[in-house]
Structure 1
């Protein structure tokens, strides 16, 4: 222990000054050239994440299709449908061709010969009378532009298997994300942000590239689960690296600017999907480039705040000196970090030393209260966000334009979030936007609104806009509430509950497929959102506050917060930590 307490500098015998990590970071630059470089490097992480999260919208799209009749294969599409496909009435009362049934008692060989010889210039009654119908026994014909394909059309994931391409396909990806949040959250807090990031780059690049060559649907889905798991560690480790190494007053703008790249990535994905209509080519193109991120091994050091929290003060000092040089700042000399032991170690009642884990976020009263509320916030915000996205009105007949517009709407949400978090803090912004989203969804169930579809669509769109703001806030909020030693595990455990919400969202949205139940999903989304808005007021405000480092700090943080205290307290010097009392035994 004597070696640990030895001052780092003792020039001329002068006693070293004690400085915390945040004090030193403010000297070497807490938002300067180095942080800008990290921000730009990790912007590619957000774009890659958006690609993999949303690519199934295009590669798994179900094009217009109808039962194949081999005898009619040489005829034009409209003639094939006229001769073999029955009509059906949609839930909206629109007459359309059946996608999954065909007339079974027609002589299609004779029909094809008559058409080829010009004998079908006038209608023949025996060809157009209703007859017995059967499911597609010879596969399907897909109406796609020349050369286009999706895995739904390649593997015939349509009709009674259509749920595999939509709800289940995305839900299993989110299941992988859930697993990744748990596994890679622990790895990140134990082994470091950089190692976790590089490990997930290898796994992610391999899995999503291999999915472009999957010969069968089951293998593709297995690779998608692995992709989802690696995306979780990939994104969360990069996010924590960025947020924990900027000054407290800059975390808001960095988090929101960082999240804006998600919308940019979605818009780029729509462009690439339009330019590359073959799903295997698209999947390969958005995946193979990620291997260049392995070059970050040479560009990144380990997160200095993680090194500080781990008690690795020599390594932390080396990285901080590099940051100072990169930012063209001077490193403060004759200082000693306020770090006397390995901060992540915990001494139990029987005297044993152990590593912190995700259960430490629930072990003590105040940490448990904050963690449970934040887990619920993530569950609801994810369920409502993805649910409203799936249940919202189509913005146009062109899927590429509609997807682009839907992605573009997210950018103003981040701008609003940036302002409201700076002006009103994290706590009030989370509560207000959750309540706004929940109430707007619940209002759609009022009886006198039935028949005003445009108003229902408007309310649902406003609900999505509001919950998009909440989604932006909770990422930053979680990173600020949890202490450094369990920050990634805490954010990861929250994200687990978010994935549970995302898994349920497609199935809840399916309840609105019938005209008579179109508002039912909105009601199901609205009630939990209102509850989440009220519970958010029990969380502590983190605006301009020093991030907690140890479990002791985390337990004491926010104990003085009151429910009716709406506006953030003014902090004279946000770089000065408030004294931390001894918490309940861990």
Structure 2
């Protein structure tokens, strides 16, 4: 029998899967700390000149190097105050965020294939160790270049670890629970964003914040002694005896009375196995652009992933600059994702993927565009309205990001699904890397870019076909021949 049939016999979601899910997914809470702490570690404190002139903020920059003594406010410390990244050097704060996101891109490209090659457990453990090391070493850096280099490595660890966490948490859960489980993974990350804001509120020294947000990963190292390898991965690698042994243990923990022989996985003939491997190798990235229908699907998806990622990370990392209180704004930015995920669970199988994706992305874009009409320093009511619109934008784009994960896996043919998702993920990482580069141009430009990008992505996603209650295509030929049929 195939793996999914065997999984249905041992239980699609029982105690065995729940324990593994909690152990692995809880790491996503701390992973959010790594992604968001730059919003505080690279935040600009107040600064002023005391000698020979008295000036504050931008006035200091206009002195063109005439200020002999620049002092920073004592509300918090950051790499800005540590390495004096102000005036002509201020671009380095957004640059280090882009460097970090480029690291996330490389991490996904490296960890993904490694996870498929050597297993989920080993790659996850390697990522956790690297997260601990880079977090601790970042707190001891003595120069901007040292810090930027370590954040690149840290970003690679975050990107790779996050990918493995998502796959490991969901791939051994039955299909009927997989969307719910995948959404919960995102919920944990959103709670981590709010948690990081709470920690940063009490830990105002950037070095201590770096240590505190990284060291807790150490407590996960003993978990790998008891965490099993993914049985689905073992089965995909032909290690059927080991996969069956783990499935049998899952059955016992899930209190399912099955015999070992009743969950025996099919052993394909060597000839058929070789034919399947040759077929899988025959699909390349270029095949997604050779024929019209698959080309349109991929181009729209690539653009949508790029837009969703850029706006999502831009609003997340820039939340500290919206409203009057950076800590409250970032915390609310994380909490704002929760209703987005609830909406996905309730509506995705009712109104369909296409309308849900388009509507939520357009909502995020409209909220960003409305922010352009609210002036800064216009009083507390204006600040509250700014925060509210930013949160609405975050809700919309968070829901979009969650939908596009599910939607893209259904739009891609089975024979090339992993490759298609790899292309989409790559475009998302590029969008994430570019997001911080918009911030130095000011809020007006930032929200104009995010708003137009989100609106365009939302409208273009209407070009995609609906996949709700549709059979998944097996090959690119299926897509070209419009052979997708409704499931019975």
Fold agreement, TM-score > 0.5:
yes
Contact 2:360 2:400 in 1 (8 A): yes
- Please give the secondary structure, in 2, of the residue aligned with 1:213: coil
Deviations 1:416-449 (A, max 9, x none): 12212232343332122123333454567799xx
Query: Is structure 2 residue 65 aligned with structure 1 residue 144?
Result: no
Counterpart selection for 2:19 from 26, 37, 47: 37
- Equivalence for 1:100: 61
Counterpart selection for 1:85 from 54, 57, 76: 54
- Please give the secondary structure, in 1, of the residue aligned with 2:71: strand
Counterpart selection for 2:221 from 294, 297, 322: 294
CA distance in 2, matches of 1:509, 1:373: 26
Deviations 1:159-200 (A, max 9, x none): 2111212x1121110010111111111212222222221222
- Equivalence for 1:508: 438
Name whichever structure is richer in helix by fraction.
2
Query: Is structure 2 residue 259 aligned with structure 1 residue 314?
Result: no
Deviations 1:502-540 (A, max 9, x none): 222233344344xxxx2x444433444344334434556
The count of corresponding residues between Structure 1 and Structure 2 is 480
Deviations 1:96-146 (A, max 9, x none): 772435xxxxxxxxxxxxxxxxxxxxxxxxxxxxxxx4425534211114x
- Equivalence for 1:359: 285
CA distance in 1, matches of 2:334, 2:68: 39
Contact 1:344 1:355 in 2 (8 A): no
Query: Is structure 2 residue 423 aligned with structure 1 residue 423?
Result: no
- Equivalence for 1:533: 458
Rate the CA distance shift 1:360–1:233 in 2: closer, same or farther, 3 A.
farther
Shift of 1:558: 6.3
Rate the CA distance shift 1:45–1:480 in 2: closer, same or farther, 3 A.
farther
- Equivalence for 1:237: 164
Deviations 1:246-285 (A, max 9, x none): 1222122212222111221122212222222221111112
Contact 1:460 1:522 in 2 (8 A): no
Shift of 1:231: 0.8
Query: Is structure 2 residue 92 aligned with structure 1 residue 164?
Result: yes
- Please give the secondary structure, in 2, of the residue aligned with 1:37: helix
CA distance in 2, matches of 1:411, 1:360: 38
Deviations 1:328-359 (A, max 9, x none): 113354455345168997759xx979868873
- Aligned pairs for 1:179-258 (under 5 A) are 179-258=106-185
CA distance in 1, matches of 2:265, 2:114: 26
Shift of 1:306: 2.2
Contact 1:198 1:297 in 2 (8 A): yes
- Equivalence for 1:52: 34
Rate the CA distance shift 1:202–1:401 in 2: closer, same or farther, 3 A.
same
Contact 1:388 1:522 in 2 (8 A): no
- Aligned pairs for 1:375-386 (under 5 A) are 375-386=302-313
CA distance in 2, matches of 1:485, 1:294: 36
- Please give the secondary structure, in 1, of the residue aligned with 2:169: helix
CA distance in 2, matches of 1:64, 1:335: 65
- Equivalence for 1:410: 337
Contact 1:177 1:496 in 2 (8 A): no
Q: CA RMSD in A?
A: 3.7
CA distance in 1, matches of 2:284, 2:253: 35
After alignment, is 388-397 or 280-289 more displaced? Answer: 388-397
Structure (1 or 2) with the larger CA radius of gyration:
1
Q: Which runs of 5+ in 2 are unaligned?
A: none
CA distance in 2, matches of 1:427, 1:561: 17
Rate the CA distance shift 1:397–1:368 in 2: closer, same or farther, 3 A.
same
- Please give the secondary structure, in 2, of the residue aligned with 1:337: coil
- Please give the secondary structure, in 1, of the residue aligned with 2:150: helix
Deviations 1:359-402 (A, max 9, x none): 38838857665444332221010112233446669554332223
User: What is the TM-score of this pair, normalised by structure 1?
Assistant: 0.72
Shift of 1:322: 1.6
Contact 1:346 1:355 in 2 (8 A): no
CA distance in 1, matches of 2:83, 2:288: 46
